[in-house]
Every structure is written in C-alpha cells, then in structure tokens.
Amino acid sequence: MTIEKDTRGTDLDIKDAIEGHERFRLQFERDKAFFKSLAIKKQKPRLLWIGCADSRVVPAQITSADPGELFEIRNIANVVPPADAADDAVGAAIEYGVGHLGIDDIVVCGHTHCGGIQALLEPIPPGREAHLGRWVEFTRPAHQLIAAAGLPQEERLTETIKAHVQFQLDNLMTYAIVREGVAAGRINVHAWLYDMDAGALSAYDPATGEWRGLLEMAGA
C-alpha cells in the first residue's frame, strides 16, 4: 500500500481535510455566535444515536441535525454489547447520555449494505484481526435467526440488518439506567433503518410488528 502524495509531497487525504477545514473556518466566522454559544452552554442533545461507523451513513446529515443535537455512538454494525460484555465504550456513553445529559430518546439505526453485518460471513484472520473477529460475533444472533427463516438470498442481508437492530434494543434493556427509564416512561427506544438506495429512514413499529417509513409513521 502506498500513500498518495501531491507534487509537494503532501499526503492527499490530509490535504483534503486541511482544505475542508479551511472552508469550515469561513462557516465558523459566519456563524460565530452559534458556535460560541455551543462552547459556553452545556450540551443538551435531543437524541442518543447509536449507529454504524460506516462513512457513508452520516447521522447529522440524514436527520438535518446541527452540532449539539445528536449524542453519537458509532461503531461497526451499530452494536450495543450486553451490559455484562467486556466492553465499556458503549455502556459509558449510554450512562453518560441518559444519566448526565438527560437524553430521553435512544435510536439504534442500522443501514442497508452494512459491511459490518456482512463481515461475519467472510473470513477474518483470527491472529491479525482478533478485535474485529470478536466484535462481529455480536451480530451472530441476527444471522442465526434469519438463516433459520429460510428467506430468499436477496432478502437475507437486509432482513439480518433489521433483526440485528431489534436485538440491539433488547441489549439496551440490559443496562439498568435504560431499563428503569423505559419502565418509568421516562425513556423511549427506537429501532431505525437507513435505506442507502432510497435515502430514507424506516422504523420498527412495535404495535404492528412491521417496519414502516418514518415519515409515513409520523403522519399516521
């Protein structure tokens, strides 16, 4: 693997980020009052968003959220490890978001064409990629459920992605702060899916057991 450089020897990926930052600096100057207010006030995000690390699926873009509105956990395949699993990154953010920031809506959002979900079906070198190998095991329950359902091949990945999101809602309930908040009616949890081809969100509707367009649900 070689690193792409321009004629002056600058790494092109970094050059891109520097130029992007230059454009952001102009925006910062234009919206200075807003950005300053972010720095002064404590953050008060509307949602805890648990989504995939996939660079193509940008939570703030698909919800038109401004800085300060989404408290995000992003990891491969939008995993919520169960509370007793050997991972504190997700649990710490859940406890901070709910306990300290007072967030009362938690969204777990999967997306179509998710490489993190597909990864379980591909060989992962156990020595060199031990972390990745262990991580994608969190997607196994959804794979097992959908494999047992005997669906046509072309539906399998998307159905696995949906089932995986629903399993992560179950895992959210293993955290006392979420479980107690939901039981008391203080917290709502939401299973969402971003369709990359359509550019549209859908949500699991527990009342009907079906996935429906988010806009359609909101209008119903």
Binding site for Zn ion (CB under 5 A): 52, 54, 114, 116
* 56 annotated active-site: yes
* 105 annotated active-site: no
* 111 annotated active-site: yes
Joined tokens for residue 84: 């007793």
Among 25, 30, 56, 100, the one annotated catalytic = 56
The residue type at 76: I
Query: Facing residues of 190 across strands?
Result: 107
Among 13, 84, 88, 111, the one annotated catalytic = 111
Among 54, 109, 143, 164, the one annotated catalytic = 54
Chain centre to alpha carbon of residue 29: 30
The residue type at 176: A
Judged by beta carbon, residue 57 or residue 103, the one nearer Zn ion is 57
Least distance (Å) between residue 143 CB and Zn ion: 14
Judged by beta carbon, residue 75 or residue 169, the one nearer Zn ion is 75
* 52 annotated active-site: yes
Least distance (Å) between residue 118 CB and Zn ion: 9
**Whether the Cβ atoms of residue 59 and residue 115 lie closer than 8 Å to each other:** no
* 54 annotated active-site: yes
Q: Where are the beta strands (DSSP E) in the chain?
A: 47-52, 70-75, 105-111, 188-195, 200-205, 210-213
Which residue numbers are catalytic?
52, 54, 56, 111, 114
